Amino acid sequence: MNVEAYVDITCPWCRLGTHQFHRAVAAAGAEADVELVLRPYQLVPDAPEEPRPLMDAVAEMFGPRQAEEMLGEMTRLGAGEGIEYRFDRAVAVNTLTAHRLLWLALHEHGAAVQATLATALFDAYFRDGVNVADHTRLTGLAERAGLDGGRVRGFLATEEGGAEVREQVAAARREGVTTVPRFVFENGTLIVGVTSTEALGDALRQAGGR
């Protein structure tokens, strides 16, 4: 079974939702039968290339008080699921380069390697304060996920995959995607935004005819 998920690396709900999806697959014992393919989405496509504290960016969007409350609640939700969010470390930056790397992982290594890399990128961004546009840091994450370092360095030095990623993001917007994560199951079931391991498990069973 193929399931597609539209995600952005800087979306904390995407980090949580993909984590819940993998838990649902494991609970169903369906690791050999379910393939999650990540599709790119950019919440802030014109985000700057230079990193800056995420707390500052969120405070500008929502105001300092609301930003603190939102991120505090997200931290608590993550902790309950075994995910560590360190928003005080996170740096906001454009995610196009990270999405290009995920595109490479999918096309040259498959969905399982892409999923491993995505988890590493999420943790690097939300837990470790890594600039996920930095080529050196991205290469290290990619190597640990199983990609060849030389191939990744050469890839990041070019614009390869850029046109494809931009078109996928644009196509998602044309199709009405405005909220992520967005899970699309083979039977047409959609799960958008805030979800749960249980809801994703139910969707997997229905899509699999169980």
Segment 65-96, tens digit of pLDDT = 999 999 999 999 999 999 999 999 999 999 99
Segment 95-133, tens digit of pLDDT = 999 999 999 999 999 999 999 999 999 999 999 999 999
Domain count across the chain: 1
The count of residues in the chain is 210
Q: Please, which contacts does 143-149 make with residues 24 or more away whose CB atoms are closer than 8 Å? A: 144/120, 145/105, 145/113, 145/116, 145/117, 145/120, 146/109, 146/113, 146/116, 147/104, 147/105, 147/108, 147/109, 147/113, 147/117
Domain around 202: 2-207
- Reported pTM: 0.95
Give the pLDDT band of residue 210 (cuts 50, 70, 90): low
Q: Please give the Cα distance from 67 to 69 (Å, whole number).
A: 5
Domain containing 187 — which CATH number? 3.40.30.10
Segment 146-170, tens digit of pLDDT = 999 999 999 999 999 999 999 999 9
